[in-house]
Structure 1
């Protein structure tokens, strides 16, 4: 088969022949891959920087996808840990890590949205135990996952959604996606801190895609602005686009009811994630969530790696 193959962490994958994988267990099936999203998580695996990377090469990138079984069943699937990636003409799928999609589903839309949507969907439902009527701050709302997080928070019943980020073009999109307020993180620290406090001081949950400096600024700003510091604030760390570490002053843990947690591989079981996928897929299929995929042939994977996209768009490779 042909696949995107990484032979060096310093260069993009190349389209070349690779041995076709074979099922080796009763729950496995070989599918024809129809669409695979080029997610940030895929890029970090392909350059060896993701925290799960073991440094082994060659590798096929790709962590999920949409494929069709020999019997014609349409599946969305998540690659098994340690298995070959999904950016290939064929992939072995563990049926325990897959869900069936209805006929007529656009595989490109599902491949584009499931992974970025999953980050906030699982964080809110499985980690924060979010309930309708609560309020949410999306820190890093101008990334693709953040744009979906704003929509998902609103869809799950948030009474108020605040989006914070740097990109002014993408900040301008948030109101139409369900944000009640937006905060630019591009400015003097004191001004940003004050704006965050006014807009989001009393939120119940923070979905944090940034970490690093923005979180160091935002965390005390929100706590200082809370009318009732004993009101629970759940801070769910999902990404680290602005930095892998923060300096956390001890007072923020004593001065408020703050719970800091992560959401990702390891903090949520594979079974727990899989249980959430049908509901999320249903929202994507129904058109409830705005999705803007940019499909490119798998044969153009090297070009795809350096192709810029419009705000809210995600590249999807189609074998």
Structure 2
């Protein structure tokens, strides 16, 4: 089979022939769509905090495909792949039975694109922030896939006011199209806290933060008493200086999120809701389907933050 293979840590994968993975009690899936996520690059760096498979290995932690059942291909599923036999290949192994049926109305590319970032956005708003109807929410990094999904999910969950923050005009305009009531430009750090307060109307109950760094601190300082700040990324920096009084004086909750610690059953339930919304046209994601042979190029584009989901398909023609 054809597969993208990480031969050395820190380098893009190469596409070559491999033997099909042996199931050994694990379901084999014919892959139709495999999204590229930032975590794939982190794992392939060899420095990922949760560890990396020995090289060579096939990357890709999730995908869409058809499981092989009794010698026949079954209905489409979204699945989690079992590394080192990841989803960037014609066939992959499902990790621990972690798969879920996909509504017919959702195409493969979209079904793949809403996976990891959509689940994180949904559970950050529900499981961690426990968003209540009518509350005001700030989505930092609304230019990324997670952020754009979070804007839409917040509206679907009944948020009263959604503020989207990003660094470019196109992303801010897109966030408005997807349901944000107001936007904040992150390019200029000066006065950012005041601009967040103004955009949110002086009330800010929930922050979804995939960036940390200066924007994260500015958002914390703009929050209302009893606010919930969910931290799930560090694209603006791994460190931030937060004054004790900011958190203590307003009784703020700073909550970490990682899907690695969420049971599959909860993630599957979140994906099911996302897929149903996508089938109804209520969640939109910009994605681009590329042939498997484009994996090295897609890898480099992902490192530059493309603001759209890149999806590899073994069936797409080079």
| Matching residue of 2:76 | 74
Distance 1:117-1:13 versus aligned 2 partners, 3 A rule:
same
Alpha-carbon contact 1:186-1:192 (below 8 Å) kept: no
Question: Residue 65 of structure 1: SS of its match in structure 2?
Answer: strand
Alpha-carbon contact 1:147-1:312 (below 8 Å) kept: no
Structure 2 length normalisation: TM-score? 0.90
Displacement of 1:95: 6.3
Quick check: 1:60 aligned with 2:51?
no
Distance 1:181-1:49 versus aligned 2 partners, 3 A rule:
farther
- How far, CA to CA, are the matches of 2:301 and 2:167 in structure 1? 21
Question: Residue 243 of structure 2: SS of its match in structure 1?
Answer: coil
Give the 5 Å matches for 1:10-49: 10-25=10-25, 28-49=26-47
| Matching residue of 1:112 | 113
Distance 1:129-1:37 versus aligned 2 partners, 3 A rule:
same
Structure 1 length normalisation: TM-score? 0.89
Distance 1:253-1:193 versus aligned 2 partners, 3 A rule:
closer
Quick check: 1:287 aligned with 2:281?
yes
| Matching residue of 1:273 | 267
4+ runs deviating over 6 angstroms: 308-311
Alpha-carbon contact 1:144-1:311 (below 8 Å) kept: no
Distance 1:141-1:102 versus aligned 2 partners, 3 A rule:
closer
Displacement of 1:301: 1.1
Distance 1:314-1:68 versus aligned 2 partners, 3 A rule:
same
- How far, CA to CA, are the matches of 1:175 and 1:90 in structure 2? 39
Question: Residue 300 of structure 1: SS of its match in structure 2?
Answer: helix
| Matching residue of 1:318 | 313
- How far, CA to CA, are the matches of 2:47 and 2:96 in structure 1? 29
- How far, CA to CA, are the matches of 1:104 and 1:140 in structure 2? 29
Alpha-carbon contact 2:14-2:296 (below 8 Å) kept: yes
- How far, CA to CA, are the matches of 1:104 and 1:133 in structure 2? 30
Question: Residue 309 of structure 2: SS of its match in structure 1?
Answer: strand
Aligned residues: 308
